Chain A
């Protein structure tokens, strides 16, 4: 898989791959229950609904079928009653159950986010959404629909986990270590987040509109426009926060939350109702978990193998049936192809999906081999669908700089494609026959795409092909403009959220800075009175001989010196000096930082374990400022041990060709809870009793590191200690 990268073509790649997902894996526990149920005589719809409504992947499929059959109902319960049982069973089997039975797959494994935990989270959000909808009739949300929306709100995460599990692991880890919103980490890493992926999947699967909206906007805190599903989105948003604050399951999102009751009162519940709701939520979740066997350990491997075999044979039967269908289709005439093609297209289909549906039909009708459709997108890229028997590969091909796209319009068709388009063949790794022919897709004077198809026929029915091409071009052009608008609205929602996040950050940074500036301004006024107090005390000291008075005068002098250094810290924080960066040996910086910290903490023999210092590089920073910053962090580490002096582990990681050096400063002292951790960089915040000690050290360190394009990440837990990870640039111009 291509390395995910936050640029346009990567994010489109991700979208294309997501669209290729026809269904998601379900949980082994769910599958086991389903098989038991289907092997019984006389399945009860209620029992079926129970199982389906506990699994996001299955529920999505059933809702999708409901929509296709014209049953406009967001509730899984009623769909299970209304739909023929056979339809439900086939749908359930079509979901890729057997993949979940991969023997290597362990739901309780050491992965940062076990699938089981995500399912418990989804279940809890579903139950909470239903309860909130019941408690707040003014929201006019159907409780059962709210349940479905809650259950499905994270299908985007399931999809990312399914398609790129490694990346998803990294995303979860990063969200955890930064206590950041998982959506913003996804957006940064993949260029797209689980909300939009969930929306796309919802559209693809024809889920009800209000559920799609809720899935899409469940991370939006701001007041939303009155569109279908905006109330549902608010309910799910609240339910999600509630469940995270109660630590039910694990959603991979480690953004900090308020207290559970406050979350509920914020949406309009009475405090009494809030407490009731939390109790009900806990009860109902326990019930569901027990009835679904999510409490128990994973089942034994031999059982898994047995079910896996059964599932595989059922799935094969299904595939054979589908293949028979395809044969039948291939015998239909051109007109049937076109009408079928038009019928296949849904209002939500993206241009490339329309094109690939066309390609598949084209291959059948004209008995072509592999067919590749290339559509011109923005940024000089071609969105590409390569249709081979039983498979579609989506990818993005960049148009080389020396190719004049518009001049391709002059190629005579159906010429052989390879001489005209060697760069396309190269990008597709020559998966197409060099003898394949080329067709142009034009809309008015514009060339909007290309079709390359393998054929063994000497004669082609050109008039009918031309007719099909015109239809395709019109549909693609229509879909492109439609799609652009949709993307626009999605991007708009992103922008709004980003704006909100940045403005919150800015506001807190600004508040901190302006408070510091205000204080620094006032501090300036303190200097004169302090100079007089301390100066007078010193003068008196010189002519005093009474020991008691000497002591008092000394106190006056020392205390005013202390105030002076506080004022200096403040002024320094409000207006730090510009760093004088140069290449400096990191080992020396670390050594003097340790010495400074030990001196400040009053330790003559600090217990410090150093490692990785043998091969440390030079770093490009202001050595004085970085020494101060590191020394402040190390001092905090010393002070995390009440009444003792360590141990503090300091390790340096860097390879010769690295741009950055990483320093880890680790203590196993008192540690911080998440609330303290979030406030730690604030100046004058200290977890110690007020007045005991100034808390500016860490914020000062943050400030200085930031000035030097360096960064610090803190992870901490009460009574297990704190680890500060600092990255320093090794060359000019890095990390800006």
Chain B
């Protein structure tokens, strides 16, 4: 987890200009220090959080150190199951979507590290969602795992070709689900 921020990073996180951060730093409203032997300002994580809370700035953009996962499935109970599993694991920050359209919106807002994508969505098929995300260079580093009940190896290969990093067969073993996610995200 990131512990020290520059004034530029703090401005980005708080969605204000760098000048404003510098002014607050210099007036003592935002506590920090200068790097010895230079004029560069540095802000510790805790004081940035305090500053944001004091000024009612949402903490959303402050990186929690957790990997962001978007779960896309139209079956609410499947979504709940996966959320329970991932929250219990503790390493993940989880959002959900129930259609291809929602998935697109959430991807823009949340910019997840990983999308767990059901193939059979009510509006579009998972491979279309997959291709759309792959075409957008903003989400170059976003990983995708497709979930489906198909068994035919050639169909699975077809899904992976649409740009997914992994495949999970429904129904799944929950430890396999977590293992797949950690391996795709290269977590230990």
Give the contacting residue for A528; candidates B78, B150, B153, B175; CB below 8 A. B78
B172 / chain A contacts, CB cutoff of 8 Å: 531, 534-535
A576 to B153 alpha-carbon distance, docked (Å): 10
**Would you call A531 and B171 a contact (CB within 8 A)?**
yes
Encode B144-184 as 1/0 by CB contact (under 8 A) with A.
Answer: 00000111111000000000000000111111000000000
Question: Does A173 count as interface, using CB distance less than 8 angstroms?
Answer: no
Of B81, B150, B151, which contacts A532 at CB under 8 A? B81
Report Cα–Cα, A126/B57, bound state, in Å: 103
Are A572 and B81 interface neighbours, CB within 8 A? no
B151 touches A530 (CB 8 A): no
Number of B residues near A (Cβ < 8 Å) is 21
Q: How long is the Cα–Cα vector from A532 to B174 in the complex, in angstroms?
A: 10
The distance in angstroms between the C-alpha atoms of A530 and B78, with both chains bound, is 10
Interface presence of A650 (CB below 8 A): no
- B85 and A527 form a contact (CB under 8 A): no
Q: Mark A375-404, 1 if CB is under 8 A from B, else 0.
A: 000000000000000000000000000000
Given contacts A528-B75, A536-B81, A560 and B171 within 8 Å (CB-CB): yes
Contact A531 B81 (CB under 8 A): yes
B152 touches A577 (CB 8 A): yes
Residues from chain A with Cβ under 8 Å of B174 in the complex = 535, 538-539
A309 → chain B closest CB, angstroms: 75
Q: Known contacts A532-B78, A532-B81, A536-B81; is A577 also within 8 Å of B171 by CB?
A: no
Pair A535/B81 contact, Cβ less than 8 Å: yes
**Which of B84, B150, B151, B152 meets A539, CB within 8 Å?**
B84
Question: Does B77 make an interface contact (CB < 8 A)?
Answer: yes
* 7 residue pairs, one from A and one from B, having the closest CB atoms: A527-B149, A531-B171, A530-B171, A527-B170, A535-B81, A568-B151, A538-B174
Measured CB to CB, the closest approach of chain B to A577, in angstroms, equals: 5
Closest chain-A Cβ to B79's Cβ sits at a distance in Å of: 10
Interface mask (B88-115 → A, CB under 8 Å = 1, otherwise 0): 1000000000000000000000000000
Residue of B nearest to A525 (CB): B149
For chain A, which range describes its interface: under 10, 10 to 19, 20 to 34, or 35 or more residues?
20 to 34
Contacts of A568 in B (CB 8 A): 151
Q: Which residues of A contact B120 (CB under 8 A)?
A: 524
Residues from chain A with a CB closer than 8 A to the CB of B149 are 523-524, 527-528, 567, 571
Q: Is the CB of B81 within 8 A of A539?
A: yes
Interface centre among A523, A527, A560, A572 (most CB of B within 10 A): A527
Q: Which residue of B lies closest to A557 (CB)?
A: B173
Tell me the B residues contacting A by CB distance below 8 Å. 75, 77-78, 81-82, 84-85, 88, 120, 149-154, 170-175
Shortest Cβ distance from residue B107 to the other chain A in the assembled complex, whole angstroms: 23
A576 to chain B: closest residue by CB: B152
Nearest CB of chain A from residue B175's CB, rounded to whole Å:
8
- Chain B residues in 8 Å Cβ range of A531: 78, 81, 170-172
Question: Min CB distance, A585 to chain B, in Å?
Answer: 22
Interface: A715 (CB within 8 A): no
A575 at the interface (CB under 8 A from B): yes
Q: What's the least CB distance linking B12 to chain A, in Å?
A: 38
* CB-based contact B170/A577 at 8 Å: no
Query: Which A residues are in CB contact (< 8 Å) with B85?
Result: 535, 539
Given A530-B170, A535-B78, 20 more A-B residue pairs with CB atoms under 8 Å apart are: A528-B149, A528-B170, A531-B78, A531-B170, A531-B172, A532-B78, A534-B171, A534-B172, A534-B173, A538-B173, A538-B174, A539-B84, A542-B88, A561-B171, A567-B149, A571-B149, A571-B152, A575-B152, A576-B152, A577-B152
**Contact (A535, B171) CB under 8 Å given A528-B75, A528-B78:** yes
- Which B-chain residue is minimally distant from A543 (CB atoms)? B88
Note all chain A residues with C-beta closer than 8 A to B84.
539
* A528 and B75 alpha carbons, distance in the complex (Å): 7
5 A–B contacts, CB within 8 A, in A order = A528-B77, A535-B171, A535-B172, A571-B150, A576-B152
Chain B residues lying within 8 Å of A564, measured Cβ to Cβ, are: 171
Q: Assuming A528-B75, A535-B85, A539-B85, is B152 touching A572 (CB within 8 A)?
A: yes
B50 to chain A, nearest CB (A): 36
A532 and B78 CA atoms in complex are apart in Å by: 6
For the complex formed, measure the closest distance between the CB of A679 and the CB atoms of chain B, giving whole angstroms: 26
Cβ contacts under 8 Å, A538 to chain B: 173-175
Interfacial chain A residues near B88, Cβ < 8 Å: 539, 542
Report the minimum CB–CB distance from A132 to chain B (whole Å): 54
How far does the alpha carbon of A577 sit from the alpha carbon of B153 in the complex, in Å? Answer: 7
Residues on B with beta carbons closer than 8 Å to the beta carbon of A535? 78, 81-82, 85, 171-172, 174
- Chain B residues contacting A561 (CB-CB under 8 Å) are 171
Q: Which residues of B contact A536 (CB under 8 A)?
A: 81
User: Whole-angstrom distance between the alpha carbons of A709 and B172 in the complex?
Assistant: 35
| Minimum CB–CB distance for A223 against chain B, Å | 44
Q: Which residues of B contact A577 (CB under 8 A)?
A: 152-154
Bound Cα distance from A536 to B172, whole angstroms: 11
How far in angstroms is the closest Cβ of chain B from A246? Answer: 48
Q: How far is the CA of A560 from the CA of B77 in the complex (A)?
A: 17
Is A571 in contact with B75, judged by CB distance below 8 angstroms? no
Residue of A nearest to B175 (CB): A538
A399 CB to nearest B CB, Å: 51
A578 lies within 8 A of chain B by Cβ = yes
Per the bound structure, the CA–CA distance linking A523 and B77 in Å amounts to: 18
Nearest residue in B to A520 (C-beta to C-beta)? B151
Report the Cα distance A567→B170, complex, angstroms: 11
Q: How far is the CB of A541 from chain B (nearest CB, A)?
A: 9
How far is B81's CA from A568's CA once the two chains are assembled, in angstroms? 22
Q: Look across to chain B and name the residue whose beta carbon is closest to the beta carbon of A569.
A: B151
Residues of A within 8 A of B77 (CB): 528, 532
| Contacting pair A527 B171 (CB below 8 A) | yes
Cα distance A538–B153 in the bound complex, in angstroms: 26
- Report Cα–Cα, A207/B139, bound state, in Å: 88
CB of A703, distance to nearest CB on chain B (Å):
13
List which A535-594 residues lie within 8 A (CB) of chain B: 535-536, 538-539, 542, 560-561, 564, 567-568, 571-572, 575-578
- A505-541 contacts to B, CB under 8 A, are 523-524, 527-528, 530-536, 538-539
Chain A residues numbered 656-672 whose CB sits less than 8 Å from any CB in chain B: none
Tell me, rounded to whole Å, the shortest Cβ–Cβ distance linking B126 to chain A: 14
With A and B bound together, what is the CA distance between A339 and B173 in angstroms? 95
Chain A nearest CB, measured from B93 CB (Å): 20
Q: How far is the CA of A524 from the CA of B85 in the complex (A)?
A: 23
Smallest CB gap from A530: residue in B: B171
User: A535 vs B149: C-alpha distance in the bound complex, in angstroms?
Assistant: 15
Min CB distance A578 to B, Å, is: 7
Q: Give min CB distance, B70 to chain A, whole Å.
A: 18
Residues of B within 8 A of A524 (CB): 120, 149
Q: Give a binary string over A665-705; 1 marks a CB under 8 Å from any B CB, 0 the rest.
A: 00000000000000000000000000000000000000000
Which A residues touch B154, using CB under 8 A? 577-578
Report the separation of the CA atoms of residues A523 and B81 in the bound assembly, to the nearest whole angstrom: 21
Most buried by B among A531, A560, A564: A531
> How far, in angstroms, from A465 to B120 measured CA to CA in the complex?
87
Q: Which of B82, B170, B173 has the most CB of A within 10 A?
A: B170
Which single residue of chain B is at the shortest CB-CB distance from A528? B75
